[in-house]
Structure 1
Amino acid sequence: MAGFVGADVDELRAFAKLVDTASRQLDDTTNGLSAALASTRWLGPDGSEFTSHWNSQYKPGLTRASGSLHGLVTILVKNADEQQTTSSDTGGGAGNGGTGKGSSDGTTSGDLGGKSVDDLEDLSSDELRDLAEKFSKDPDAAHDWWESLTPAEQARLIKNAPELVGGLDGVPALDRVAANANIAGDQIEKNDTRIKEIEQKLAEPWRYALSAITGPGDIQALNDELKDLKNENKYLQEAVDGDVQLYTYDRDADRIVEMIGNPETATQQLTWIPGTATDMNSFYTHGVQGLPDYVAGAVPGTVAFVMKDGTYPQWDLSHPPSDTSLAHDLGVTQAQFQSGLEASGFESMPNTAVGHSAGLAILTASESAGAHYTNVVSLSGIGMAGGWEPQQGTGYYDYTTGGDAILAARGVNGLLPSDIEFGGSILDPSVTLSFERAGFPLTPSEENGFSVLDPGIGWKTPTLFDPLLKQSIDNHSLIASTNTSHEVKDGLIDLLSGNKPAGS
């Protein structure tokens, strides 16, 4: 035990936490500089030379330094655990051997719902997810339980019960990210197995003509699945490598939340709720994270959460963007997400929330469910449900492009088709339409408390190759992309910087 016998356990753990924070800050600095360099138009030989040096020397050096610091954290925690064990065996020693506290329901260290750490490690993935859902209803108690564990116990659960840790509200963000990185690694292996199956079938289609592949349509479906799986694996590998931080990842439940930035050094939060047709592949291809990543990187101290905490509205009758009940349910989940984040020890700080398209309905539904934001921003948002009211102390802003496709859906509230059923015979067919009340009657207008701002994106004189309808659809997507206008980018950066956007 030479080298740490008699050491103060609390001091070792405090130093480990300090080194861990330094490692993560170094990662943030590296990522921030990479993003800034990528978005800066630095032309000429000097720019090319620096970019080359950055990619080949500077960035790898910073990454190695961060890795060394992370390795030191592991050593410090190991030494603290060994010192704690030695102190317990001898009945003495310096420093506190543990908190000794239990959760609010009387459970003790390592005990969640009557299950010890050993018990939890033996549960199946589905059982762990069920526990996470159950105990997320009381995130404060879940946080107390997590903090009652030793670092070694926490590390065991992150590795061996990641579905619990990665989905349990109240667990600190970085611990959830570590757990979900393990889940991502497991999913890569499962996807690889399926990829090999598909590639074998595509290589020898005649062998499967009577089963899996019966025609060109099936071959195309397999090609599409193969492409999606490869996109998914590429993204999940980024999570395993630490380049992507998954705060939530539950593939089967259609849930994914990506965190951008360091929550331990953050001074403000950006909540990003994308719009209609957002799915898991939208994240795998980095289709929805570009603009929040850019904006968060432009304002130091920002941590962003890009949301898809459930199945989002789609362009179909089962989950249409006008579905008020779907928006309500996702809004309740969004409010629970925020409560869980705050219970995990995430300090109260300014929170700018952005909703694109149907995302605005989800965002404002979360307000009705109890969430509070410093600023609410509509990017061509569809609107708000009846009964919604602006909250005192919250700033409301709307950017909607000229001739935007969303304008046709704003203010609509009535009986809309919800299902279609075909029946009868070939000679006497029948079609039955089901209707339900849907739509969002309140628009993001000055009448409802919003400052309506110039988006810097209008429409041009229609041509044969660029008709007005195409422009209106393209602009609706453009406003929430990295290619959006300077007016939108600058406005969001102003809000994160504590200022009001131009024109408000």
Structure 2
Amino acid sequence: MTGSMIGADVDALRTLAAEFERDADRLSVLADGLGASLQSVHWAGADAARAREAWRTEGQPRIRAAADRLRQAAADLRWQAEEQGAASAAATASALAAGAMGALGAAGAVGHAGTAESGAVADLRAAADSGSPATVAAAWRKLSASERESLIRDDPGLVGNLDGVPASARDAANRARLDPERAALEEQRKELVAAKAGKAELAAVEAKIRSIDAIKETLELSDRHLLTLDLTQERAMAAVAIGDVDTAQNVVVFTPGLNSTVDGALARHDNDMRLVRQECLMSAPRSTTATVTWIGYQAPQSTADSLTDPHKSVVTDAAAHTGGHQLAQFVRGLDAARETDAHITALGHSYGSTTTAAAALELARDGSTPIDDLVLFGSPGILTNDAADFGLDGGGTYVMEADRDPVADANAFGGDPQDADGVTNLAAWDSRGHSQYLSANGQNKYGDLMSRGNIAAVATGHPENAIEQPGGNHGSGDAARKAAPGLLGLAGPAGAVTGAAVGLNDFIRGRH
């Protein structure tokens, strides 16, 4: 029958899925916003208590359930689009195979098809060994749906941490690993206790158990995706996304710094990224945004062992370069796994800003970086004095320094980031010290924190809406640094650690 179609328009399905996801995001923002308003309004008494309890137990859960149903519908639509695309490709392949069978014989053609399927899996394993996320992404696309499902089920350790594999597959594989990995760690803990092992060895295993528990608790929240689960090093590493990094128009990747661990920091930073995403959705409601908390490296710790090891210490940039390579691979993978380009913004705080800068410099050496914008705050240094080195064609490098932030005054890894050529300094006027850039309370035209509002403006592609601070924020810490290079006359543990960082780093680099 001419003029009829069996199947579906793949592009239309994907467009509809994106619309469903945008609507789900709006509902999530509405649920959070109404709840906050109901809590903050001046209203006391029995009626107020009943209203707040009804909202908590009935109203908010219903809105969130509706958002979850929309997200599930979006996921179903994308699955249908993928199946339809695969079916169309299979139909084309079937027609070609039919011609080949006529020439070569049915038995030979069937044998060749079997070899091709196993060859696709072998190609993926070879791609994994290559270390190229782009090669991995190309190999993954050649797998059939059944091959992908089999790999997720039978080899989740390969799929879950493989940069270049779509987030949906990584999430499914990593979730499947959580309980078996925890059980194995529990057995290891029992063996260590029985063997009367040292405290440090036992503590490391127990920290990994707590890390898995922290991940599982975070994944219970709406629209979370586990993109990395790595237990092979001293401390657990993980990356958790909010939203769909495979399809969102804007993707924000946040790297924290000193003392960041999965068991100790994931919950807090995941909430920070929830608030950043909410700011993005409010400032650009017609676009979709996904955020990632990336604790995918061994962040330096303020322990004697870490401080004295030049490969681990916050006083050198070695851990930043090691972590920067891992972050660069992660970002390459996000970009390669997508069908369309995203606006990718890399955020870095404290030592995480140095790690982010190291990743950006590595990506720039590729000749074309997936990162569109950098936002670096509370930074002890960004490894360059010229933002052009980051290779952000058409994008920008943005720096924020709050008042009384001793780490941002350290200049430990390069000059003051605020003074680097090509940097745009953004205001953080309602933040104080080193740790309030994402979590302080204040009021501005974007929401409840100026620095979050500035991040949202950049991350959604509207940097013109960010509040600039020309010349940066040069306070007493900068004056102390100039008066006594290598040491900061600032009180408190942060000042002590960064003062030591500057002094020891200068000594190691021969600037004493």
**Is the pair's TM-score, using the shorter chain for normalization, greater than 0.5?**
yes
What is the aligned counterpart of 1:310 among 285, 294, 297?
297
Which whole-Å CA distance do the structure 1 matches of 2:160 and 2:335 have between them? Answer: 16
Q: Is the 8 A contact 2:170 2:227 kept in 1?
A: yes
Q: Percent identity?
A: 19
Structure 1 residue 357: Cα displacement: 0.9
Q: Residues 37 and 389 (structure 1 numbering): CA distance in 2 closer, same or farther, change over 3 Å?
A: same
What is the aligned counterpart of 1:294 among 275, 285, 288?
275
1:6-60: CA deviation from partner (whole Å, max 9, x where unpaired):
x988539889878876775665455434443455454237876665444433454
Structure 1 residue 375: Cα displacement: 2.8
Q: How does 1:379-398 map to 2 (within 5 A)?
A: 379-386=377-384, 389-390=387-388, 391=391, 393-398=394-399
1:149-205: CA deviation from partner (whole Å, max 9, x where unpaired):
23233222222221222122222122212221112233344456578x59xx8xxxx
Q: Is the 8 A contact 1:157 1:165 kept in 2?
A: yes
Partner of 1:280: 262
The answer to whether residue 411 in structure 2 is matched with residue 448 in structure 1 is no
The answer to whether residue 243 in structure 2 is matched with residue 245 in structure 1 is no
What is the aligned counterpart of 1:183 among 172, 177, 182?
177
Q: Residues 396 and 264 (structure 1 numbering): CA distance in 2 closer, same or farther, change over 3 Å?
A: closer
Q: Residues 378 and 140 (structure 1 numbering): CA distance in 2 closer, same or farther, change over 3 Å?
A: closer
The answer to whether residue 467 in structure 2 is matched with residue 502 in structure 1 is yes
Q: How does 1:31-430 map to 2 (within 5 A)?
A: 31-37=28-34, 39-40=36-37, 41-43=39-41, 44=43, 51-61=52-62, 66=68, 70=72, 97=90, 100=93, 108-112=116-120, 114=122, 133-135=128-130, 137-190=131-184, 197=190, 212=196, 229-230=209-210, 232-239=212-219, 243-253=223-233, 254-284=236-266, 286-300=267-281, 301-315=288-302, 316-318=307-309, 319-345=312-338, 347-369=340-362, 370=364, 371=369, 373-386=371-384, 389-390=387-388, 391=391, 393-407=394-408, 409-410=410-411, 412=412
Q: Is the 8 A contact 2:399 2:423 kept in 1?
A: yes
Q: Residues 99 and 321 (structure 1 numbering): CA distance in 2 closer, same or farther, change over 3 Å?
A: farther
Q: Is the 8 A contact 2:258 2:299 kept in 1?
A: yes
Q: Residues 331 and 21 (structure 1 numbering): CA distance in 2 closer, same or farther, change over 3 Å?
A: same
Q: Is the 8 A contact 2:175 2:226 kept in 1?
A: yes
Structure 1 residue 334: Cα displacement: 2.2
Structure 1 residue 245: Cα displacement: 1.3
Q: Is the 8 A contact 1:19 1:73 kept in 2?
A: no
Which whole-Å CA distance do the structure 1 matches of 2:135 and 2:25 have between them? Answer: 31
Which whole-Å CA distance do the structure 1 matches of 2:50 and 2:222 have between them? Answer: 27
- SS of alignment partner, residue 269 of structure 2: coil
- SS of alignment partner, residue 398 of structure 2: strand
Q: Is the 8 A contact 2:273 2:293 kept in 1?
A: yes
Q: Residues 396 and 21 (structure 1 numbering): CA distance in 2 closer, same or farther, change over 3 Å?
A: closer
Q: Residues 322 and 223 (structure 1 numbering): CA distance in 2 closer, same or farther, change over 3 Å?
A: closer
Partner of 1:481: 439
Which whole-Å CA distance do the structure 1 matches of 2:318 and 2:386 have between them? Answer: 14
Q: How does 1:426-441 map to 2 (within 5 A)?
A: 440-441=413-414
Partner of 1:426: none
Q: Residues 155 and 27 (structure 1 numbering): CA distance in 2 closer, same or farther, change over 3 Å?
A: farther
Question: Which has the higher mean CA deviation after the structures are superposed, 171-180 or 14-23?
Answer: 14-23
Which whole-Å CA distance do the structure 2 matches of 1:368 and 1:77 have between them? Answer: 36
Q: TM-score, normalised by structure 2?
A: 0.66
Which whole-Å CA distance do the structure 2 matches of 1:339 and 1:76 have between them? Answer: 23
Q: Is the 8 A contact 1:357 1:406 kept in 2?
A: yes
Structure 1 residue 138: Cα displacement: 2.8
Structure 1 residue 223: Cα displacement: 9.1
Which whole-Å CA distance do the structure 2 matches of 1:376 and 1:441 have between them? Answer: 17
Structure 1 residue 212: Cα displacement: 3.5
Partner of 2:104: none
Q: Residues 53 and 17 (structure 1 numbering): CA distance in 2 closer, same or farther, change over 3 Å?
A: farther
Which whole-Å CA distance do the structure 1 matches of 2:217 and 2:336 have between them? Answer: 29
Q: Is the 8 A contact 1:188 1:236 kept in 2?
A: no
- SS of alignment partner, residue 163 of structure 2: coil
Q: TM-score, normalised by structure 1?
A: 0.67
Q: Is the 8 A contact 2:431 2:440 kept in 1?
A: no
Report the AA paired with residue 277 of structure 2: A
Which whole-Å CA distance do the structure 2 matches of 1:479 and 1:69 have between them? Answer: 30
Partner of 1:437: none
Structure 1 residue 115: Cα displacement: 6.9
Which whole-Å CA distance do the structure 2 matches of 1:299 and 1:227 have between them? Answer: 33
Q: Residues 296 and 483 (structure 1 numbering): CA distance in 2 closer, same or farther, change over 3 Å?
A: same
Structure 1 residue 305: Cα displacement: 1.9
1:58-98: CA deviation from partner (whole Å, max 9, x where unpaired):
454466664698599789979x98x999xxxxxxxx96536
- SS of alignment partner, residue 266 of structure 1: coil
Partner of 1:490: 453
Question: Which has the higher mean CA deviation after the structures are superposed, 491-500 or 51-60?
Answer: 51-60
Which whole-Å CA distance do the structure 2 matches of 1:476 and 1:132 have between them? Answer: 41
Q: Over aligned residues, Cα RMSD in angstroms?
A: 4.4
Question: Which has the higher mean CA deviation after the structures are superposed, 441-450 or 48-57?
Answer: 48-57
Structure 1 residue 241: Cα displacement: 7.5
Partner of 1:415: none
- Length, aligned pairs only: 411
Report the AA paired with residue 272 of structure 1: F
Report the AA paired with residue 162 of structure 1: P
Partner of 1:11: 8
Q: Residues 458 and 308 (structure 1 numbering): CA distance in 2 closer, same or farther, change over 3 Å?
A: closer
Q: Residues 333 and 59 (structure 1 numbering): CA distance in 2 closer, same or farther, change over 3 Å?
A: same
Which whole-Å CA distance do the structure 1 matches of 2:371 and 2:75 have between them? Answer: 35
Q: Is the 8 A contact 2:377 2:401 kept in 1?
A: yes
Q: Is the 8 A contact 1:98 1:150 kept in 2?
A: no
Structure 1 residue 289: Cα displacement: 2.5
Task: Note the residue ranges of structure 1 that are not aligned, 5 or more in a row.
Answer: 1-6, 86-93, 102-106, 117-127, 202-207, 413-439, 460-474
Which whole-Å CA distance do the structure 1 matches of 2:52 and 2:59 have between them? Answer: 10
